């Protein structure tokens, strides 16, 4: 394949060579990775990790609050 513009195709030859080596057709879909792809997309999609995270945060907060409550009653009666 020869392209000529104004009689100087020497400047375009590397560009044509570069583009001729690129793959033709549609790009293949790459497999996505990460937490979102693992748990919320695909055949094994589930909200269980999200629910577990919310419950774990709630449980941790409750445990801290209960511990503070016990510390309060250790020295102060109501």
Instruction: Write down the residue that tokens 């919320």 correspond to.
Output: 40
Q: Is residue 27 part of a domain?
A: no
Using an 8 Å Cβ cutoff, are 39 and 49 in contact? yes
Q: Is residue 44 part of a domain?
A: yes
* DSSP assignment letter at 7: T
Higher pLDDT, 17 or 59: 59
The predicted pLDDT at position 65 comes to 95
The secondary element (H helix, E strand) that includes residue 58 is helix 48-75
pTM of the model: 0.48
pLDDT one-digit tens code per residue, 34-73: 877 778 887 778 888 889 999 999 999 999 999 999 888 8
pLDDT confidence of 6, banded at 50, 70, 90?
low
Q: Is residue 58 part of a domain?
A: yes
Q: Please tell me the total count of domains within the chain.
A: 1
Domain that residue 77 falls in = 32-78
């Amino acid at each position: 394949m020869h392209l000529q513009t104004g009689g100087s195709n020497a400047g375009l030859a590397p560009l044509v060579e570069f583009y001729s080596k690129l793959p033709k057709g549609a790009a293949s879909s790459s497999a996505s990775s990460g937490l979102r792809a693992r748990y919320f997309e695909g055949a094994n999609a589930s909200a269980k990790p999200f629910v577990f995270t919310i419950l774990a945060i709630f449980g941790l907060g409750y445990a801290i609050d209960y511990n503070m409550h016990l510390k309060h009653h250790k020295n102060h009666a109501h």
